[in-house]
Structure 1
Amino acid sequence: MTLKTMPIQQRGFTLVELIVFIVLLAIVAGAFSLSFSQFNRDSIDPIEQHRALQCAKAKLETITLLRFSSTTPVGGLPACGSGQEDAQACGAIVASTLKDDIGDYHGEVDNSLQACSISVSVSEGTGGLAVTGLSSSAAQLRRIEVRATVGSSEVVLSSYKGNY
């Protein structure tokens, strides 16, 4: 019995081997495609969170730069409700279009920025925080809370404004 070897031109892959290779290649390509699509879908979240944070910071800074109450004089002295000479009683937190003190922003919903919704609430007191060194500390502080939403991301920032 003699062993016949195939000539070089006739060597190659069988049809079954080619089909198995193509199926395996399709499975690997599908797995990579699925992992990249998951990565791309999640990559937008940090961008939305950062944008919401910037919107909230801008609004909070705008509000905290204003005076404590509508009766607070320019410069802040004498502080309203302090009992000092020429000091007036502090004005209530009332939403207003004037926007000259922090209480005017209470209940405001701002949709003027593109794709960013901002809501503001202002409240009296410390919110349960222990504050020392202030007489009737609840009346000396106002809490400002800014909630910004961009897409599915929401950021809440809060700050306290003192009556000084």
Structure 2
Amino acid sequence: MHTDAQKNVCFKKHEGVSLIELVVFIVIVSLAGAALFKVYSYSQAQSADPLVQVRALELAQSRLDEILALKYDANTPTGGIPACGSTAVGAVACNNTPDLDMNDVDDFNNITDEPYSFNVTKKTSSGGQTTIMVKYTRQVTVVTTGNVKLVSVIVTAPTGLVVPLAAQKANF
């Protein structure tokens, strides 16, 4: 038979946690914390991307709007009628030649500029400073096919993001 002393030894009440349980708990919490930190740091690194994308799109759109507001050709009369190169009375031939006047669509062919460029100075972890050049590059090409000119504007952001926009300008 079992005595009361033997029962207490066999069925002793557990209090606290064992060392193994504590180590397992610490490992699980550490892994979860590391995963959350990685997600947080990734989201922080990508938080400026929408701003960069919008700025690149605005730069492309502004140049495209500027070009499309101009005449089809240097020989196109104000109002566009009669269209250059047409058989209408008083129409003159289109020259489709870029010049430095920037008064028609052709003048922007193969124009590259950096409309939004600046230097950013950041402090390094060692106490020094580093300067980073932030620049957006904008390139325009104009391809004439018949009575239509395809205007392409490509903006390259500092992150390497490329935003292309294109529109057609017709000779009417």
Alignment of 1:71-82 (within 5 A): 71-82=75-86
Q: 2:149 aligns with which of 124, 142, 147?
A: 142
Say whether 1:87 aligns with 2:91.
Answer: yes
Cα distance between partner residues in 1 of 2:144 and 2:151: 9
Q: 2:166 aligns with which of 133, 145, 158?
A: 158
Cα distance between partner residues in 1 of 2:116 and 2:46: 24
Which amino acid in 1 is paired with 2:106? G
Residue aligning to 2:123: none
Identity %: 30
Q: CA RMSD, aligned part only? A: 2.2
Q: 1:122 aligns with which of 139, 142, 145?
A: 142
SS state at 2:163 partner? strand
SS state at 2:143 partner? strand
- Give the aligned length: 147
How far did residue 63 of structure 1 move?
Answer: 0.3
Task: From the CA coordinates, give the structure whose radius of gyration is larger.
Answer: 2
TM-score normalised over the length of structure 2: 0.75
Cα distance between partner residues in 2 of 1:74 and 1:116: 34
Cα distance between partner residues in 1 of 2:161 and 2:101: 30
After superposition, the C-alpha distances for 1:53-82 in whole angstroms (9 at most, x for unaligned) are 221111101100000111112221221111
Which amino acid in 2 is paired with 1:147? I
Larger RCO of the pair (alpha carbons < 8 Å, separation 6+) = 1
- Higher strand fraction: Structure 1 or Structure 2? 2
Which amino acid in 1 is paired with 2:142? V
- Structure 1 residue runs without a partner (length 5+): 126-137
Q: 1:58 aligns with which of 59, 62, 66?
A: 62
Which amino acid in 1 is paired with 2:95? G
Which amino acid in 2 is paired with 1:119? Q
Residue aligning to 2:104: 101
Residue aligning to 2:74: 70
Is contact 1:66–1:101 with CA below 8 Å preserved after alignment?
yes
After superposition, the C-alpha distances for 1:61-116 in whole angstroms (9 at most, x for unaligned) are 1100000111112221221111333322112232x332100100000002022332
